[in-house]
Amino acid sequence: MRRREFRPRTVSRSTLRSGRAGRAGRRTGGGGRGGKLRSRLTIAGAVVLAAAVAWVVVQLLRPVPSMALTASVTTARVLPGAPPRPDWPGQAEAAVGLPGTGLLGTDGGSQPVPIASLAKIMTAYVVLGDHPLPAGGSGPTITATAADAAAYASDQRQGQSVVRVVPGEKLTERQALEALLIPSGNNIGAMLAGWDAGSEGAFVAEMNADASRLGMDQSHFADASGVDPASMSTADDLLKVAAHDMADPAFASMVTMTSVTLPVAGTISTYTPLLGLQGVIGVKSGFTSAAGGCDVLAVMRTVHGRSVLLLAAVTGQTGPEVLAQAGLHALALVDAVGPLIGDTPVLRSGQVVARVSEGGRAVDAQAAATASVLTWPGVTATRRFQPLHHLTDQASRGARAGTVVVTLGTQHVVVPVRLEQDVPRESLLQRLF
C-alpha cells in the first residue's frame, strides 16, 4: 500500500487578509445595532426636553385667569323696628305712603269702591301723557263745541259740579286741566276726553289701559269725571297714580292753586279742603252719594333737612262736611307717619359685600360709600351686587370689582365696590402647575 504523504496547504496572503476582514465584519455587526439605539434615545430625549420647555413657556405666557367674584351681602334687608300704626279713619278705606319708598299701609281692605271726582287725577294723567306740558306752558288750544255747551247744561240740571263753557270758547290745555282739577268740572272731563281720544269711550279705554300699566289692579274707570259709580278704585291704587301725577311739574303746579280764572266761567275756587294749610299742596277731593267724601292729599314735610312729599288717600266718608272730614283724616295719617321717616343707611362704607377668589387666593371687596334711603321701620330694601365681567390677579387695592345697587320703591342708589387689598398673584409654581 502506498502511503499518502502529508503536505501542508499553502495559503496565500490575500486569502488570509480576506478571512480576517470577514471575522472583523462579523464582530462589528452587533456594534451597528447599538449605535442606532443610542441615536434613537438621543432623539427621544431631545423631543421630551423640547416639549417640556414649550410647556413651561406656554404656562408662563398663558393669559392671567379671571377671578371669581362671590357676593357676601344679603339681597334683602328688613330695616329694624316695627312698622308704624297710624290712627286710621275707622270707616271705608285709607292709605298712606311715601312716593319714593312706597305704600306704608292701608286700612279698610282693598275692595274697589266708587271714587267720585278722584277719577279726574287719572284723567289728567292720561291727558298729560298724550299731550305733555312744560311746567309753565299752556299747550294747544281746545275750542268748545255746541255739544260741549249742551253737556254743561245737562250736567248742571243734574246738580253736578260743572264749569260753564259756550260754543266757540277757546281754552288752552292748561286752562282745561285747571278747570278739571280745581273747581272739578265734570263736563270738562268729557270735553278733554273727546279732544284727546275722539270720544269719551275711547278715552276711558285708555284710562283703564294706563291704570293696568301702573299696577292699579283693583281699579276700573267708566267715565272721565267719576260721576258714574262704576268708576271704582282703592285707596292704595289711587296713591299710585297720584305719585306719578305729582312727579309731573305741570300737574303739581295746578293742584296747588286755590282758584282759577277762565274766559267765560270767570274765577272759581277749589273744592279741595285744607289746601295751603300745614304743608298741604293738593291733590283732589270728590263727593257723590255713592262714593261719600273722598280725598287724596299731598303734603310736604321736612325730614333730615330734605323736603319730602307724603301722600294719603281716604274714601267713603259719611256725615256732615264729608270733604273736610276726608281731608282731616288724610292729614292725620300724614302727621302720624311723618316723624317716623328716616334717612336710613342700608349699606355702609367699608362693608364687605363680595369676595374675589381663584385657586386658593382670595381678597375682600368693600362698599366705597354709604347708601341711605328715605324709609320707615319694617320696610324691606334690596341690595344687589353686580360684578365686573373680568377681573384678573393684576388688580390692585382700590380697583373696582363691581357695584351694589340699593333699591327701595323708586329710590335707587349705586355704590362702587373696590378691592380691600392687592389680589395675590400666582407664584411660579402656581403658574407652572
Residue pLDDT, tens place only, 141-183: 999 999 999 999 999 999 999 999 999 999 999 999 999 999 9
310, pLDDT greater than 50:
yes
Query: pLDDT value at position 106?
Result: 86
Euclidean distance between CA atoms 158 and 162, whole angstroms: 10
Query: pLDDT value at position 372?
Result: 84
26, pLDDT greater than 80:
no
Q: Please indicate whether residue 235 or residue 22 has the higher confidence score (pLDDT).
A: 235
CB 191 within 8 A of CB 160: no
Burial state string for 294-323 with b = 16 or more CB within 10 A and e = fewer than 16: bbbbbbebebeeeebbbbbbbbbbeeeebb
**Reduced to 3 states, what is the DSSP secondary structure of residue 152?**
helix
Euclidean distance between CA atoms 421 and 425, whole angstroms: 12
230, pLDDT greater than 70:
yes
333, pLDDT greater than 80:
yes
Euclidean distance between CA atoms 241 and 217, whole angstroms: 12
405, pLDDT greater than 50:
yes
Query: pLDDT value at position 428?
Result: 46
Q: What is the average pLDDT across 9-38?
A: 54
CB 393 within 8 A of CB 68: no
DSSP string covering 55-86: HHHHHHHSPPPBPEEEE-S-SEEEPSSPPP--
Euclidean distance between CA atoms 295 and 330, whole angstroms: 7
Cell triple for 93:
278705606
Position 21 confidence tier, pLDDT thresholds 50, 70, 90: very low
Cα 135 to Cα 100, 187, 243, 247, 307: the distances in Å are: 21, 25, 17, 11, 19
Euclidean distance between CA atoms 112 and 161, whole angstroms: 23
The per-residue pLDDT for range 251-309, each reduced to its tens digit, is 999 999 999 999 999 999 998 889 999 999 999 999 999 999 999 999 999 887 888 89
Euclidean distance between CA atoms 67 and 123, whole angstroms: 54
Q: Please indicate whether residue 408 or residue 239 has the higher confidence score (pLDDT).
A: 239
Residue that the C-alpha cell 362698599 belongs to:
367
Helix or strand holding residue 345 (H, E)? strand 342-347
Q: What is the average pLDDT across 180-188?
A: 97
Tell me the β-bridge partners of 306: 303
Euclidean distance between CA atoms 329 and 389, whole angstroms: 52
Query: Smallest Cα–Cα separation from 285: which of 104, 88, 119, 86?
Result: 119
Query: pLDDT value at position 264?
Result: 97
Tell me the β-bridge partners of 314: 94, 295
DSSP code for 274? T
Torsion of CA 318, 321, 326, 328, to 10 degrees: -140
Average pLDDT of the chain is 84
**Reduced to 3 states, what is the DSSP secondary structure of residue 104?**
strand
Q: Please indicate whether residue 216 or residue 87 has the higher confidence score (pLDDT).
A: 216
Euclidean distance between CA atoms 99 and 105, whole angstroms: 13
17, pLDDT greater than 60:
no
Query: pLDDT value at position 221?
Result: 98
Q: What is the set of domains in the chain, with CATH numbers?
A: 68-73+351-432 (no CATH), 94-344 (3.40.710.10)
Query: pLDDT value at position 2?
Result: 46
In the β-sheet with 411-419, what is the strand arrangement from edge to edge? 68-71, 352-358, 361-367, 411-419, 400-408, 380-387, 76-78
247, pLDDT greater than 90:
yes
The per-residue pLDDT for range 45-102, each reduced to its tens digit, is 766 666 666 555 554 455 555 556 677 777 777 777 777 777 888 778 999 988 888 8
Query: pLDDT value at position 32?
Result: 64
